[in-house]
Amino acid sequence: MSNLKTAVRIKLHQTSANYRREETIENKMTYPLPPISTVIGALHSACGYTEYKEMDVSIQGKFASMHKEPYTDYCFLNSTMDDRGILVKMRNASMLSNAFIKVASAKKSQGNSFLKGITIDVHNPELLEEYRALKKLGTEIQDYKKTEYKEKIKEFKEKKKEVADKKKTIGKGNVGFEAVAEEEKAIKAEEKKYQEAVAKYEEENYKKPVAKFRTVTKSIRYYEILDQIDLIIHVTADEKILDDILEHAYDLKAIGRSEDFVEVLDVQKVQLEQGRSRVRTLNSAYLSYDDIVAGRIRTGAMSGRKIAGTAYYFGKKYDATTGKRIFLDKKRVVYTSNFNIDEASGNVWIDKTEKPFDIVNFL
């Protein structure tokens, strides 16, 4: 008798999607199918889960074509440039946010000046004047530090040397030594107070306010976009979780980017089978590398290679307690579109709900 397993099967359609490859920066390449964590995250969101629920998924499907779409990429430079890019003021400079107000834009690739008003488009005159006033103050502070401040520090240095010489002449333990030591201590305290006052003034009146202004460069980048995607997702988990998914699957909004909306075509509980049965799939899928190596799934032959397909390492679940996602469970998978089995066993199952039958390989 065949082994049986209960799963929820979700069939859905997307007009377009980008399943972002993390390592791509300038041009956002896509995976051919949504990664494991993307699918599991979408299911968690649909069900309203706030904590990770254990589940395994099988991801297969196909897309009709792929094209590229341009988008405007804003890059913040490490320093504020006077002659290029776009001068902006951050709405909240202390947070990792891209929210900003445009102040002025340089018209040419070089020879511009926000401070002097040379070949720029002014978007916010008040903020531009604020920026100019801050840069002027910054210059004044630097001039002060090169002149009066430098002379004042020199005076403190000379005074400290003078009392240090007095201490050396008197000698420790002799009359008057303690009084000179106290005098030295007072000079050092006064010097420190002066330095801190200047630093505080510069920090509060110049460094913090001017840090809100940034230079942004603008360039055209590209998304790889898959078109007309049909996905078949099988999920296995505890019965309560399967019931939640069955109830909330139509609440799935998007897979990939927030604008990559999904149309859920069908959701139902299905019985998966194991045993001898020759099945060849018409879909592409992510398959467990270990199951392919063990011979439980055969991929199409290619010259000089036993495994036909593209290998990926996908994270399945992650820990975000530190504020950064750290994937704890990496899965080695192979993306392929030409695979078959003679027998379903181990982690390989068959869904015979409809013809053609689906090979289900949980990850």
Q: At what angle do helices 125-146 and 148-170 cross, to 10 degrees?
A: 30
Tell me how far apart the alpha carbons of residues 343 and 277 are, in angstroms, rounded to a whole number: 5
Tell me how far apart the alpha carbons of residues 312 and 334 are, in angstroms, rounded to a whole number: 6
Tell me how far apart the alpha carbons of residues 181 and 196 are, in angstroms, rounded to a whole number: 23
Q: Are 292 and 300 in contact (CB under 8 A)?
A: no
Tell me how far apart the alpha carbons of residues 246 and 269 are, in angstroms, rounded to a whole number: 7
Q: Are 198 and 58 in contact (CB under 8 A)?
A: no
Tell me how far apart the alpha carbons of residues 255 and 58 are, in angstroms, rounded to a whole number: 15
pLDDT per residue, tens digit, the chain (363 aa), is 468 999 999 999 999 999 999 876 667 899 999 999 999 999 999 999 999 999 999 999 999 999 999 888 878 888 889 998 999 999 876 554 568 899 999 998 889 999 999 999 999 999 999 999 999 999 999 999 999 999 999 999 999 999 989 888 998 889 889 998 899 999 999 999 999 999 999 999 999 999 999 998 888 888 899 999 999 999 999 999 999 999 999 999 999 999 999 999 999 999 999 999 899 988 999 999 999 989 899 887 555 556 788 999 998 876 666 666 666 778 999 999 889 999 998 899 999 999 999 999 999
What strands lie across the sheet with 298-299, from one edge to the other? 275-280, 339-344, 298-299
* Token pair recorded at residue 321: 């307690």
Amino acid letter for position 58: S
The reported pTM is 0.68
Between the alpha carbon of residue 167 and those of residues 50, 170, 233, 334, the distances in Å are 68, 5, 84, 79
DSSP symbol at 113:
B
**Coil, strand or helix: which one is 42?**
helix
